[in-house]
A and B are shown apart, each in its own frame.
Chain A
Amino acid sequence: MKFRTQEPEPASMLQMTPMIDIVFQLLVFFIFTFKIVLPEGDFNIRMPAATQSTTSTPSETPLLEVKLRATPDRELARVQLGEAVLGGEQPFFELQSRIRGMIDDAAGPTANDQEVEIDADFGLKYKYVMRAITAITGYIDENGQRHPLVERVRFAPPRSQ
C-alpha cells in the first residue's frame, strides 16, 4: 500500500493587520483631541453694585487708593498709592513693599479689614492692572509659601476715554 506523503502544515501566524488598524485609529484620535491646557488661576473679587456697597457697614479702615496712569501709547506712566507717587524702575515692587509694611505693622490694619480700590486710566494695558493686583493681594517667599496681603480689591468706576 502506498501512502501519500503529507504536505507540511503552514506555520500558523497571528493576523496583525486588524490590531494595527485599530491601534492607529486610536493614535489618530488621541493626537487630534490632544490640547495643551496652560495653568491658569484667578483673582476673586467680590464687587456688588454701588448701591449695595454704600448701604453695607462702613469699614473703620480707610480705603487705600491705587492710581495707575497711562502714557498716550497705553503703557504705564506712573503708579500712585494715595497721593504718593511710587518712583523707581519697579513701582509695583515698591507698592507691595508699602502695603506689606502697613499689613505687617501690628498697629496697622489686618489683611481682612483693608480694602484697596484700583483707579486706572481707560486705555491702560490690562497687564499692568494684573501686576498691581498681584502686588496688592500677596507675595510668595523664598520657600514658595504664599502670604496673603489685602484680599479685598475693587475697581473704581471706569474713567472716560
Chain B
Amino acid sequence: MRFRPKKTGIVEGDLTPMIDMTFQLIAFFMLVINFSDAEQDQRVTLPESELAKPPEAPYEHPLTVHLTSDDQYIYGGFAMDDLGQLRSELVRETQVLERYQSIAVADITIVIRADEDAKVGLVQQIIQACQDLKFERFALRGQYSDARTIGGAQPR
C-alpha cells in the first residue's frame, strides 16, 4: 500500500476581523479623548443641580480649591488640613500672578469644588479667606443633573 506524503502548510489565522475591531476602538478613543486640563478630583463628589451647566467660555484666570467631606482642602494637587496653609498657598500664587503675569487679583476667579457632604461653614471660611486676599469672583461648582434637585413639578 502506498501513502501519499502529507502536505504541511503554515496555518495562519485570519487577522482581518481583529484589525478591523482594533481600528474601530482606536477611532472611538481618538474621538472621545479630552486633552483639556479639567480640574477634577475623585475625592470630591459635587452636589447636583439642574442649573449647573458648563460655562460657555472658560475662565481667564481660574484658581480651583477643592474641599472634601472630611474637611481637607486640596489646592494644586496637595491636600491640606489647615485653612492657614491654603491661605499661604493662595498668597504665593497671587504674588506670582501679579508680579510675573500682571494679573489683578480681582480678575481671578476662585472655583470652589466642595463635596456635597462638606460643611457649609468651611466653604464660607474659604470665601472669607479669599476675600481677605482681595479676591472678588467666586464660582461654586456643581454637577449637572437632568432631574430637578429641589423637588416639585416642572414650572411652565
* A interface list, Cβ under 8 A from B: 16, 20, 23-24, 26-27, 30-31, 33-35, 37-50, 68, 74, 89-90, 92-93, 95-97, 100, 120-131, 133-135, 137-142, 146-147, 155-159, 161
Q: Which residue of B lies closest to A19 (CB)?
A: B19
CB of B150, distance to nearest CB on chain A (Å): 4
* B interface list, Cβ under 8 A from A: 15, 19, 22-23, 25-26, 29-30, 32-34, 36, 38, 40, 46-55, 67, 109, 111, 114-121, 123-125, 127-128, 131-132, 134, 136-144, 148-152, 154-156
Partner pick for B134 among A39, A42, A49, CB 8 A cutoff:
A49
CB of B154, distance to nearest CB on chain A (Å): 5
Determine whether the beta carbon of B119 is less than 8 Å from that of A122.
Answer: yes
Cα–Cα, bound, A138→B154 (Å): 12
Determine whether the beta carbon of B139 is less than 8 Å from that of A42.
Answer: yes
Q: Which residue of A lies closest to B27 (CB)?
A: A30
Q: Given the known A-B contacts A140-B154, A142-B154, A158-B124, are A40 and B141 also in contact in the complex, defined by CB atoms under 8 Å? A: yes
Interface of A is mostly: mixed
Determine whether the beta carbon of B30 is less than 8 Å from that of A122.
Answer: no
Determine whether the beta carbon of B19 is less than 8 Å from that of A20.
Answer: yes
**B50 / chain A contacts, CB cutoff of 8 Å:** 134, 140
**A147 / chain B contacts, CB cutoff of 8 Å:** 155
Determine whether the beta carbon of B150 is less than 8 Å from that of A157.
Answer: no
CB of A49, distance to nearest CB on chain B (Å): 4
CB of B83, distance to nearest CB on chain A (Å): 11
Cα–Cα, bound, A70→B88 (Å): 31
Determine whether the beta carbon of A30 is less than 8 Å from that of B119.
Answer: no
**B143 / chain A contacts, CB cutoff of 8 Å:** 38-41
Cα–Cα, bound, A50→B144 (Å): 31
Determine whether the beta carbon of B119 is less than 8 Å from that of A42.
Answer: no
**B34 / chain A contacts, CB cutoff of 8 Å:** 35, 37
List 20 A-B pairs, Cβ < 8 Å.
Answer: A16-B15, A23-B23, A27-B22, A30-B30, A40-B52, A40-B54, A41-B55, A41-B142, A42-B139, A44-B138, A48-B136, A74-B119, A93-B152, A122-B119, A125-B118, A125-B119, A131-B150, A133-B49, A134-B51, A158-B120
Partner pick for B142 among A33, A89, A120, A130, CB 8 A cutoff:
A130
CB of B29, distance to nearest CB on chain A (Å): 3
Determine whether the beta carbon of A46 is less than 8 Å from that of B137.
Answer: yes
**A43 / chain B contacts, CB cutoff of 8 Å:** 49, 51-52, 139-140, 142
Partner pick for B140 among A50, A130, A156, CB 8 A cutoff:
A130
CB of B155, distance to nearest CB on chain A (Å): 5
Cα–Cα, bound, A95→B151 (Å): 11
**A124 / chain B contacts, CB cutoff of 8 Å:** 119-121
**B54 / chain A contacts, CB cutoff of 8 Å:** 39-41
Determine whether the beta carbon of A27 is less than 8 Å from that of B120.
Answer: no
Cα–Cα, bound, A96→B150 (Å): 9
**B53 / chain A contacts, CB cutoff of 8 Å:** 39, 41, 146
